[in-house]
A and B are shown apart, each in its own frame.
Chain A
Amino acid sequence: EAEVAQSPRYKITEKSQAVAFWCDPISGHATLYWYRQILGQGPELLVQFQDESVVDDSQLPKDRFSAERLKGVDSTLKIQPAELGDSAMYLCASSYRGLAGVGEQFFGPGTRLTVL
């Protein structure tokens, strides 16, 4: 069964360091999402890609976060510099937007980031 892949699964870093997360969506899924999930809360969208284009990054803290999906397939989310408040689970999801325009989102296992 096709799955969304993410790596690493866990990352511990010190504040002010740079971190990067990688996501490989399900083959054929044009839409890719990055979410941040703080412990005890629901996921919050950081950025949404349609193919290689960003369609929504309104909640992405652009002073320190960046995301790219250069070839419209896999994607990287970067934080530089990391802050204590960035400790969270970072989830990647993908969907195939069919005729209904509503794509069920398939989630990867997430990357648990701890900033010390």
Chain B
Amino acid sequence: AQSVTQLGSHVSVSEGALVLLRCNYSSSVPPYLFWYVQYPNQGLQLLLKYTSAATLVKGINGFEAEFKKSETSFHLTKPSAHMSDAAEYFCAVSGNDMRFGAGTRLTVKP
């Protein structure tokens, strides 16, 4: 069985500050991992994915995530937050199906 745990349901940063959203996974097989972003009343948009190639994955909008097997983590980072980054972020693990975390709401203060 696979699952993900997102640490922190709400993260608040100042504009220009580092964004760090935490995700830990559990999987009985080598995982495929994803980060999605969701804006209010919209569907989910893929930010990036890890599929066993490079452990540092670069995505859209300046986001990146690093797969660390020893820590079973796949944290999402962005060096400098922008107001438009305010949204809900979901980590997900995939095997035969996709399991999502509960989400982390990112607030960006001016």
Which of A4, A45, A100, A109 meets B98, CB within 8 Å? A45
- Does A105 lie at the interface of the complex (its beta carbon under 8 Å from any beta carbon of B)? yes
The answer to whether B94 and A102 touch across the interface, beta carbons within 8 angstroms, is yes
- For A91, what are the chain B residues with a Cβ–Cβ distance below 8 Å? 43-44
- Taking the nearest CB of chain B, how far is it from the CB of A24, in angstroms? 13
A32 to B44, CA, bound (A): 15
The answer to whether B51 and A102 touch across the interface, beta carbons within 8 angstroms, is yes
The answer to whether B101 and A110 touch across the interface, beta carbons within 8 angstroms, is no
- Does B34 lie at the interface of the complex (its beta carbon under 8 Å from any beta carbon of A)? yes
Given contacts A42-B90, A102-B32, A102-B94, contact A108 B43 (CB under 8 A): yes
A41 to B100, CA, bound (A): 9
- For A102, what are the chain B residues with a Cβ–Cβ distance below 8 Å? 32, 51, 94
- Taking the nearest CB of chain A, how far is it from the CB of B51, in angstroms? 6
CB-based A-B contact count at 8 angstroms: 51
A contact set with B: CB distance below 8 Å: 4, 6, 33, 40-45, 48, 56, 89, 91, 93, 100, 102, 104-110, 112
- Taking the nearest CB of chain B, how far is it from the CB of A48, in angstroms? 7
Q: Identify which of residues 57-87 in chain B touch chain A, using a CB-to-CB cut-off of 8 Å.
A: none
Given contacts A104-B34, A104-B46, contact A112 B100 (CB under 8 A): no
B93-104 interface mask toward A, CB cutoff 8 Å, 1 = contact, 0 = none? 010111011110
Q: A40-B9, A56-B96, A109-B43 are in contact. List 8 more A-B contacts (CB 8 A).
A: A6-B43, A33-B98, A41-B102, A42-B92, A93-B44, A104-B49, A105-B44, A109-B42
